[in-house]
Every structure is written in structure tokens, then in C-alpha cells.
Amino acid sequence: MAAQAGVGVASLVSRNEKTILPEWVELQKKAGILHTGRISEGELQSQSRNFLHLLHEALTQGGTDTSGAAYEPARAMLADLSRTRALQGFSPSETATFIFSLKQPLFNALNRDGTLSAEQIASTVSTSTALLDELGLFTLEIFQKSREEIIVRQQREIAELSTPVVKLWEGILALPLIGTLDSQRTQVVMENLLQTIVDDEAEIAIIDITGVPTVDTLTAQHLLKTVAAARLMGADCMISGIRPQIAQTMVHLGVELNVISKASLADAFAVALRQTGRAVVKTRRIEGFALPGKKSGGQDA
Amino acid sequence: MDRIPILKFGNALLVTIQVDMHDRLATALEEDLTSKIVAHNSRGVLIDISALEIVDSFIGRMLDNIAAVSRILDADTVVVGMRPAVAITLVELGLSLTGVKTALNVERGMALIHDRLAGSEADDADDQD
């Protein structure tokens, strides 16, 4: 029965391919697919032609069972299409329109076809509706999945991007943290920092949390873990860039960071230089201020 | 039975752990080290664990114990060369070894002990004045 219905739809498609295709493309254009500028008309034409062809083959071979092997090429093509559209930034409905807009041309063709009895028309309509709905849902599912993949990938990239370890001086590292600290990120941060401590033989690591929006007890715990691990490796840790509100919140929460903490990265860096036995010295006096009688060399600030 | 060699290095002791530590080895090291500190009148203990890849809470406890015992015998313990993975493991286990001094490598660890010895000798000199 199913195979028979499939053959019915298939023959309908093959008999009316010449009229269905332009109508279908026209409908898609009317839905505004081309206005987005993400796809050219030629591309749309070839995608539609391809799919119609694959659908026809699948219908003749595998009936209406869309999960069957005969639909493999058609499904692959749809998956590819929705993945591409997800990447190109199409909306879900724009993507689903590709399949759903095929219904109208199909029914038009059915109406024009004089050879079929009323009963045959009814069964063909119900079969093709069910078929296209299934394919439409499949398209949406793939679309959703691709979007989720994109989100996961971006999350990973953000995590990697936001945890650079910067070498400030020989033996002094800085770790400017940006964004919320969760357990997963702390793990990445910690591993990065510890590995760099080994590679650079660093004595002091400054963790700068200017870019951390909130510090709660959990974040503080993560920070302390990182500090403790760095200490075990033989490096001293400092925390800098605690903003006034955060300092207040931390005190209210009863969070205590038992490490050297400085208001700014510059202060922490100065301490680090002192601890490693270095000092910053001004090498040139600004002439205009030091010697008012002399003509300034044009370099004073 | 395997023993971990303990080398005398000036007035410090140098222990390099190059095999995977099992519990009995750790206990034996603790005992050996204690008697060596007394025998050589050592002022510092340097434990190099750069080859140690796996730690458990027992080894962590052992390091803490060694540090505590040495402190009683007036010797400083410095653990050097801990690997990042080992450090993370110890922290996750809740063992931050607060009584132990740490350094990145043997050279720095030795410098740390020497600094401390120089400091205490200066103190002694001050006392004599």
C-alpha cells in the first residue's frame, strides 16, 4: 500500500517535473529567500532541481518510508543543505520553507492532472503531505543540531581565547582573566598557567581578575585552587584587579583569599619586580621640568 | 627491599624520587630521612619529585609528615619540580601542603635553603654580639 502510494506520488512528480520545479522555485523566492542575499538564484534552482530528482528516485525505489535506505541520498542532501543554511545564518523557518513550499506546486499539479479519480487524488494528497512533513521535520532537526554544534564550538573557542598566559618579565607571568569562572574554565586556566610556569621557569604569577564580572564563593574557591597549585609548583601567586564592588561582595560573603592581593596589575607587577630583586629606574629627566632655565628639547610631555 | 637513596649535599639532604612511590617505600623514606637528618645534623631537605607522575593522598600526607618531622629537627623541607598534573591532583585532594616550601627546580630549591641558612647564621652572629 505504502509502496503503491509512493509510486503514485513518484509518477505525479515525474510527469509534472517541468511545471513543479519553476512553481516551487517561484514560491521560495516569494517567501523572500533571495532577499537575504545569502544564496543566489542559480544556487536555489540547482538545489531545488537536485532535490526533486533525488525525491523522485527515492519515491520510486523506497515508497514513502523516509527512514529507508532509498531515501539516503535525499536525506544526505537535505542534511547538507540545512547545515549550510545554519552556517549561513538562515532562520529555521527559512530553512524549513525549502521543503514545505513544495506542497503547493505538488497539489497544483495534482489538480491539473485529469487522469486520476477523486479517491486517488485524496490518497496522493495525504501521502505526499505526510512525506513532506517528515522531510521538513528532518530538515529542522539537522538545522537545530548544526546550530548547537556551532554554539559548542564557539564556547570552546571563547574558553581558549580568554585564558592567555602573558609573560611580563623574565620569571614573571600574568594571567588576565576575562569572563565568569566556572569549574571547566578554571581547569583550563589552571593547566595553562601551570604548564607556562614550567616552560618559562617563572617565579611569580599574577592573576588579574579585572575582567571577571562577579566573584562568588565558588569562583573564589577556584581561584584559591589555582593559587595553591601554583604554589606547589614553586611559584608565588598574586591576585590583582579586584574591583571595589567585588571586594565588598567578597567581604560580605565571608570569602577570604589568603594571598597577596593588589588593586591593579601595575601594583602587583611592581611587587613582583621587587621580589625578584629588580627595580624600575627613570633614565631620563624630563628637561622642561628639571631645568626650567634651559630650552626644552621638544620632547617633554 | 627497594630504598630511595638519600644524598648528603653540604648541610642539606637531597632525595630524588625516580620510581613510582608505593606506600611501604614512602614509609621507609620517611624513617630513613629522619635518621639521616639527625645523623648528619642537616639543616635542609630537598625532595625532587620531577619524575613523579602519580600521586595519591598517602604520598601527599607523607610529604606533609616529612616536612613536619624535619621542622621539629630544625631542617627546612623544600619540594621541587612538581609537575602540573601532580599539583592539580594534590589541590583537588585538598592537600595544599602548607607546611612545605616549594621551588621550581633543584637549583632554586638549593638557593632557598642556602638563603635560609645564611639568614639563620646572620641571626646567630647577631646573638653573639
With bands split at pLDDT 50, 70 and 90, how would you rate the model's confidence at A72? confident
pLDDT digits (tens, 9 = 90+) for A108-167: 888 887 777 888 888 888 888 888 898 889 999 999 999 899 899 988 887 777 678 899
Domains and CATH numbers, chain B: 6-128 (3.30.750.24)
Best mutation target among A199, A200, A233 (most B Cβ atoms within 10 Å) is A233
Cβ contacts (< 8 Å) between B88 and chain A: which residues?
190-191, 194, 229
Q: Which B residues in the span 82-121 are in contact with A, Cβ-Cβ below 8 Å?
A: 82-84, 86-88, 90-92, 96-97, 102-105, 108-109
Q: Report pLDDT for B123.
A: 67
Per-residue pLDDT, A111: 83
Q: What is the pLDDT of residue A290?
A: 53
A40-63 core/surface letters (b: 16 or more CB in 10 A; e: else):
eeeebeebbeebbbbbbbbbbebb
Question: Which residues have CB under 8 Å from A77's CB, separation 6+?
Answer: A50, A51, A54
Of B91, B102, B104, the CB nearest to A201: B104
Q: What stretch of H or E contains B85? A: helix B84-92
Using one digit for the tens of pLDDT, what is the confidence trace for A257-283? 778 889 899 999 999 999 999 988 888
State mean pLDDT over B61-88: 91
Give the mean pLDDT of B25-45. Answer: 91
Residue with cell 542534511: A79
**Phi and psi, residue A35, nearest 5°:** -65, -25
Where are the alpha helices (H) located in chain A, listed in sequence order?
2-15, 17-30, 41-62, 72-88, 92-100, 103-112, 118-161, 183-200, 217-232, 244-253, 265-275, 287-290
Contact B84 A234 (CB under 8 A): no
Per-residue pLDDT, averaged over B97-112, amounts to 89
pTM of the entire predicted model: 0.63
Does the pLDDT at position B124 exceed 90?
A: no
Q: Is the pLDDT of residue B15 over 90?
A: yes
Q: What is the pLDDT of residue B116?
A: 83
CB proximity B64 to A under 8 Å: no
* Cβ separation A231–B102 shorter than 8 A: yes
Q: With CB atoms and an 8 Å threshold, state whether A234 touches B97.
A: no
CB contact under 8 A, B87 and A232: yes
From residue A264, how far is each of A162, A206, A241, A257, B19 by CA, in Å? 19, 10, 5, 16, 44
Mean pLDDT on A6-27: 82
**B125: pLDDT confidence band, cut at 50, 70 and 90?**
low
In whole angstroms, give the CA distance from residue A17 to residue A6.
Answer: 16
Across the interface, whether the CB atoms of B84 and A229 are under 8 A apart is answered yes
Query: Is the pLDDT reported for residue A251 higher than 50?
Result: yes
State residue A203's pLDDT score: 92
Average pLDDT over residues A45-55: 87
Closest by Cβ to B102, choosing from A198, A225, A233: A233
Does the complex come out with an ipTM higher than 0.90?
no
**Which domains does chain A show, CATH number per domain?**
2-154 (1.10.490.10), 166-279 (3.30.750.24)
Q: What value does the mean pLDDT take over residues A185-196? A: 87
Residues of chain A contacting residue B79, judged by C-beta atoms under 8 Å apart: 232, 234
pLDDT at A301: 39
CB-nearest partner of B97 from A195, A230, A232: A232
